[in-house]
Amino acid sequence: MVRAVRDSLVKGRHLAVQAGTGTGKSLAYLVPSIRHAIANDTTVVISTATIALQRQLVDRDLPRLAEALKPVLGRKPTFAILKGRRNYLCLHRLSGPDPVDDADQLFDPFAISAMGRHVKRLHEWSSDTDTGDRDELVPGVPDSAWRQVSVTARECLGVSRCPVGTDCFAERARHEAGRADIVVTNHALLAIDALENSTILPEHDVVVVDEAHDLVDRVTGVATAELTSAMVATAARRCGKLIDQAVADRLEEASEGLDMVLTDAPLGRWESTLPAPVAGALTAVRDATSACRTGLGPERKEDPDHATSRKLALALLDEVNETSARLLAAFVEEDPAKRYDVVWLAEQGPDASRGRVLRVAPLSVGGLLRERLFGPRTVVLTSATLTLGGSFDALARQWGLPAEKPKPEGAELKDGKEEVDPIADADVPKWSGLDVGSPFQHERAGILYVAKHLPTPGRDGLPKAYLDEIAELVTAAEGGTLGLFSSMRAAKQATEALRPRLEQPILCQGDDSTGLLVKRFAEDDATCLFGTLSLWQGVDVPGRSLRLVLIDRIPFPRPDDPLVSARQRAVDSRGGNGFLTVSATHAALLLAQGAGRLLRGMDDRGVVAILDPRLATARYGGFLRASLPPFWPTTDPEVVRAALRRLATKPS
Ligand code: SF4
């Protein structure tokens, strides 16, 4: 991997590397990245999806590497962490009045006093912190409180105009990053920097995307916009005393109009056009925000309070204006296959308590990534899971890269690892795929058990046969089970049904913070932990405490997910197989991540048990199985229970 990354940086050719847990992949990209940065007097950007990996890089790997490489490189390499502006405390906002923007909290004394306590704590923290970085605040505060003391890039006054700009945490982080050899950031900021052509990140010609399996979702998140009537009302309130009351009232009326038409509009994805009343309401919102914008007039430099209020109003006006214009333009193209955006209406909050939201998201981000990320830079993508069904193609397509060429004769590296030649067409980005494998011997250390005899899972919760199967497996293993369920409802149902039946303690996600639950699970061999999506990717428990990973069903996305259904239909309309390309790919990625929880250390042994029989019987089952680590496979319940009993009695 080190050689491949070095070659990629030297030749300016993109690289995708699948590197299993325990290969030391972060060192394998950090060393050539540091060398590239120092040799070319430039910055290399490393992007991660999770805070845990960011911390590992900045607190552990990079400090050690900097020391170790200093004698070789002639100077100590430098590194910095950089996040979006919203992640840093804004000293200017902190010193100003705190407008309660959230309409839900306006008349709720409890919410206001809870907010007051959080904001007071943030004031105290501001004099202790060196970085103002939200992730360093433990315990954290709710988003609504953090919003009172932070600003978005749009809301920031700009360092030259800000009265406390010289002490600004976000500016300090940017300054540090500008001088560093390595800058560690997250996928969201990387996406904003690349897609919006902004210059948040220092100038760079190389990006390493770790946890690259998450890139498309994070980029889609950045490129998704939402509009609610509450946002429009807040924009009108922010304009308040700054503009002519009649102009602000027009926006307030537009907000009420939008609220009314959204209440009556059909929920779900809108396929052919905007309902006429919604189009009318959006036009009113767009025009009223434009009028307010004009009404705000130029900035009064001599009055910092006015400048702040104006900037906060302007930021939200622009957001509302751009989103309503984008929604109005979404159906202008008549051919659905050529449309760029997908539009849908959804309920917000528990029991739809927070009203309705209009969302607009790109059908695909591949084109954007290809043009804005892969076009100007050399990109190294890496993760423990990048090949699905045995190939990089599924993810490459989502990144906007062409499929791999079939493996040429003799494309074996000396150490037996596969390398695929870049494709030859000059107009498409050139890339190579490399699977460096895993240090684990999966077929000796783990069993993949598919419960082929069980019924296909239905819509009405876990059938009794599933609960019985789980009870038998957990009993044979004497606990030590991580239950990964496709819904919180199923995780809770299994917990409630099995707690009285089993001797082993069962923790359920939501009982406490996930971090604490994982800690308790790791500390006791008998304890089981049941939960859903965040456990699929976030649990790293080496050793005997985790010897059985249970997966209740193939984690297909919901068929009514608007983006998934639109993406499937788009593939179908081009003559492809939308289900395989979109839903099965999504499920394969999650299954591989879930199964990857089992072996975390060289001495680990255990079983991945998938209760959904479709993995063995359905036509797409082969693709999904080929996406999993090569465990020893069985569908025989007696064989697997005997193996679990041996594991339970014989410490590895
Ligand atoms: S420069 Fe922007 S982010 Fe920094 S303190 Fe001023 S307003 Fe806040």
Q: Per-residue pLDDT tens for 162-188? A: 889 999 999 999 999 999 999 999 999
Mean pLDDT of the chain: 89
Instruction: Give the residue, out of 94, 154, 164, with the most ligand 1 atoms within 8 A of its beta carbon, to mutate for a pocket test.
Output: 164
Is residue 410 over pLDDT 70? no
How many whole angstroms from 88 Cα to the centroid of ligand 1? 9
Structural contact between residues 607 and 442, judged by C-beta atoms closer than 8 angstroms: no
- Secondary element (H or E) of residue 122: helix 109-126
Binning pLDDT at 50, 70 and 90, where does residue 418 land?
very low
Place of tokens 């043009």: 371
Cα–Cα distance measured from residue 478 to residue 548, given in angstroms and rounded to the nearest whole number: 10
> Which residue type is seen at 434?
L
For the chain, percent of residues with pLDDT exceeding 70:
93
Binning pLDDT at 50, 70 and 90, where does residue 97 land?
low
Lowest-confidence pick of 24-33, 397-406, 546-555: 397-406
Cα–Cα distance measured from residue 452 to residue 640, given in angstroms and rounded to the nearest whole number: 13
C-alpha dihedral, 404 to 407 to 411 to 414, nearest 10° = 90
Which residue has a Cα nearest atom 4 of ligand 1? 168
Is residue 252 over pLDDT 80? yes
Cα–Cα distance measured from residue 481 to residue 485, given in angstroms and rounded to the nearest whole number: 12
Mean pLDDT of 279-293: 96
Mean pLDDT of 195-214: 88
Report which ligand 1 atom has the smallest distance to the Cα of 163: 6
What pLDDT score was predicted for residue 649?
80
Helices (H), 539-607: 562-573, 578, 585-595
What pLDDT score was predicted for residue 100?
47
Binning pLDDT at 50, 70 and 90, where does residue 424 land?
very low
How many whole angstroms from 224 Cα to the centroid of ligand 1? 25
DSSP state for residue 50 in the 8-state scheme: S
| Backbone φ, ψ for residue 349 (5° rounding) | 75, 165
Lowest-confidence pick of 148-152, 219-223, 421-425, 501-505: 421-425
Higher pLDDT, 134 or 351: 134
Which of 168-172's residues contact partners 24+ apart within 8 Å by CB, and which partners? 168/88, 168/90, 168/91, 168/92, 169/88, 169/89, 169/90, 169/91, 169/129, 169/131, 169/132, 169/133, 170/85, 170/88, 170/90, 170/132, 172/131
* pLDDT, tens digit (0-9, with 9 covering 90-100), for 444-456: 999 999 999 999 9
Report which ligand 1 atom has the smallest distance to the Cα of 311: 7
What pLDDT score was predicted for residue 409?
40
Report which ligand 1 atom has the smallest distance to the Cα of 151: 3
Handedness of CA 185, 187, 192, 194 (dihedral sign): positive
pTM of the predicted model as reported, rounded to 2 decimal places: 0.86
How many whole angstroms from 408 Cα to the centroid of ligand 1? 55
Residues with CB under 6 A from ligand 1: 85, 90-93, 151, 156-157, 159, 162, 164-165, 168, 170-171
Q: Report CA-CA distances (Å) from 146 to 156, 333, 525.
A: 15, 40, 39
Binning pLDDT at 50, 70 and 90, where does residue 623 land?
very high
Which residue has a Cα nearest atom 3 of ligand 1? 90
Mean pLDDT of 314-332: 95
Structural contact between residues 396 and 403, judged by C-beta atoms closer than 8 angstroms: yes
What pLDDT score was predicted for residue 416?
41
Cα–Cα distance measured from residue 621 to residue 25, given in angstroms and rounded to the nearest whole number: 30
Mean pLDDT of 103-117: 63
Q: Work out whether strand 548-551 and strand 606-610 pair parallel, antiparallel, or are unpaired.
A: parallel
Binning pLDDT at 50, 70 and 90, where does residue 40 land?
very high
Report which ligand 1 atom has the smallest distance to the Cα of 167: 5
Mean pLDDT of 592-621: 93
Mean pLDDT of 43-66: 92
Which among 629, 485, 460, 474 is positioned nearest to 553, based on CA atoms? 485
Lowest-confidence pick of 473-487, 491-505, 538-552: 538-552
**Residue 302 CB burial class (10 angstroms; 0-12, 13-18, ≥19):** exposed
Which residue has a Cα nearest atom 8 of ligand 1? 90
Report which ligand 1 atom has the smallest distance to the Cα of 308: 7
Which residue has a Cα nearest atom 2 of ligand 1? 156
Binning pLDDT at 50, 70 and 90, where does residue 101 land?
low
| Backbone φ, ψ for residue 443 (5° rounding) | -70, -20
How many whole angstroms from 304 Cα to the centroid of ligand 1? 12
Is residue 35 over pLDDT 60? yes
What pLDDT score was predicted for residue 293?
94
What pLDDT score was predicted for residue 76?
96
What pLDDT score was predicted for residue 51?
80
> Which residue type is seen at 417?
K
Report which ligand 1 atom has the smallest distance to the Cα of 90: 8
Cα–Cα distance measured from residue 172 to residue 68, given in angstroms and rounded to the nearest whole number: 27
How many whole angstroms from 156 Cα to the centroid of ligand 1? 5
In the chain, % helix, strand, coil (3-state, to 5) comes to: 50, 15, 35
Is residue 109 over pLDDT 90? no
Mean pLDDT of 10-36: 94
